[in-house]
Amino acid sequence: MKNIGMRAKRNPWRNTRNDYNMPWNDIFAAIFMAILPLIVVIFASNIIIRGTFFYSFYFTRTDVVKEIPYEIKKDQLIENFGKYMQHRKSDFQIKENSKYKPQNVFTDRGISIMENIRTIFDVSLAIGISLAVVALVIVIYLYRQKEKRLIYESFTNSVIWFSVICAIYGGALLITPIRKLIFRILYGVRFEPGDVLIQIFKTHLSSYYAIMTLILAVMMMIVIWYLMNKFVSYQKMFNKSL
């Protein structure tokens, strides 16, 4: 028994479980840094694509309504897009303003595309909300651990990642060859001649959407920066220590 005890004392792996502690605070801070820009861009994109104000701005600034070969008013299109993306309307189809045999404005193919678009944004919103909950839990945890410096540094580092995401997002929607390639992969090229939805999409809708999304995302990051400076900045911590 004595020999066993001596060998146990000489065992280099004995009682070493607590010699190394995982840097959980740093790990959580890195996760926060990585997901914050994603949350901002996801929320900004959903606010824009679901907002009636976006379609009002778009149809007012362009002449796409005049080019549509149906008797349809601008306000009808604005309301139809906005309500459908907000799930206040289940069917995307609308009929033209004609007393004699009014025709459907959108084709079955166009309706299918809008269903896919809404589903994609629904999924992205669910992911964004989940990530936002994770980020909030991390911030509360680090705040209670008195790791304000770590929170602030994670935010400042996330600005670089945010810039990269915005560059990729903007490039994908603003650079015409890339945008066409993405649309072709997602929706194919099988459209009827004079498809109204394609007419609407081709009139710079994606460009307006991308620009407004990026502007809103930057504004949201500025608000977060203000809150960080107000509650966890270096100056706030320095003043508190005095």
pLDDT digits (tens, 9 = 90+) for 147-160: 999 999 999 999 99
What is the predicted pLDDT for the residue at 14?
A: 53
What is the predicted pLDDT for the residue at 239?
A: 47
- Is residue 130 one of the residues assigned to a domain? yes
| Residue 151 vs residue 238, higher pLDDT | 151
Is pLDDT at 83 greater than 50 in this prediction?
yes
For the ranges 18-27, 100-109, 168-177, 186-195, the lowest mean pLDDT is seen at: 186-195
- Is residue 184 one of the residues assigned to a domain? yes
What is the predicted pLDDT for the residue at 20?
A: 59
- Is residue 146 one of the residues assigned to a domain? yes
- Is residue 2 one of the residues assigned to a domain? no
Place of tokens 């309301």: 79
Instruction: Give the range of the structural domain holding residue 118, as residue numbers without chain letter.
Output: 26-92+102-241
- Is residue 122 one of the residues assigned to a domain? yes
- With a CB cutoff of 8 Å and minimum separation 6, the contacts of 194 are 69
What percentage of the chain exceeds 90 in pLDDT? 50
- Is residue 186 one of the residues assigned to a domain? yes
Place of tokens 């509360």: 140
- Is residue 21 one of the residues assigned to a domain? no
End-to-end CA distance of the chain: 60
What percentage of the chain exceeds 70 in pLDDT? 84
- With a CB cutoff of 8 Å and minimum separation 6, the contacts of 240 are none
- Is residue 8 one of the residues assigned to a domain? no
Total domains, the chain:
1
Q: Confidence band (pLDDT; 50, 70, 90) for 240?
A: very low
Q: Say how far apart CA 200 and CA 167 lie, in whole Å.
A: 25
